[in-house]
Homo-oligomer: A and B are copies of this chain.
Amino acid sequence: MDGPIAGTGAHGDHPFYPLGVQVPGYVANSMSAAVLVLIFAVGCGVIFLPTYLVASRARPALPTCELLATFWFVLCGCIHLFFEGYFSYNHLDMASKMDLFGQLWKEYSLSDSRYMTQDPFVVCMETVTAVFWGPLSFACAYLIMTEHPLRHPLQLIVSLGQLYGDVLYYAICWFNELVYGIAYSRPERFYYWMYYVLCNAFWIVIPLMLMYQSVGETAAVFAKVKKAASGKKTI
């Protein structure tokens, strides 16, 4: 790996695509891809232990699916608030960052250079994600552990927010490729499929499942209360 010497921003000085994209101030990572991915994965895993300890004390009879939802929201809270918040805060100068999060974002950007180029959509969407879905994800975890009546409306809000942001994130990228022939990922399949497609697919599949759960549970209690109010049944 090169040392921390800033490039001119022209292609050849940096590894990002499409060809010709300007990334001023780029400094090559000092950590390898394998080490960065490993640190990120271990970091995500480590979050589960304190979450488990707090959740099992707060609500000892927590069903497994509820424990998994709590894990998910704590993980989302950490990623949105700290990792995506880091990007939002530093979006004007991401290419020169050499701390752990800076190097992680540079590694991820091999699959999507918009994180290195102050792309307006990516910056705005990530800022909304960090400012709103980050803290609200922690709130969701708390509401699950306390069986709070606000849990399902908030779960629905956070999950739809994540889903819609992610749908636009994919859609705008594909639109640019189809209509303008601009691809933001390096041509190696690994980056596109493992970083860009796989990493973001979690925020399509899991929010959809949680929305399905929240809509179902909410409709069920409204139906229950309506039935009780109509005098047919006392719950």
Contact = CB atoms under 8 A, between A and B. Distances in A.
Interface of A: 92, 118, 120-121, 123-125, 127-128, 147, 149-154, 156-157, 160-161, 164-165, 167-168, 171-172, 175-176, 179-180, 211, 214-215, 218-226, 228-229, 234-235
B220 A118 contact: no
A86 to B, nearest CB: 18
Report how many copies the assembly holds. 2
Nearest to A227: B149
Contacts of A152: 153, 218, 222
8 contacts: A120-B172, A152-B218, A156-B156, A157-B160, A160-B161, A164-B165, A221-B221, A221-B222
Given A152-B153, A221-B222, 7 more contacts: A124-B171, A149-B220, A156-B156, A160-B160, A164-B165, A168-B168, A234-B235
Contacts of A120: 121, 172, 175-176, 179-180
Nearest to A235: B228
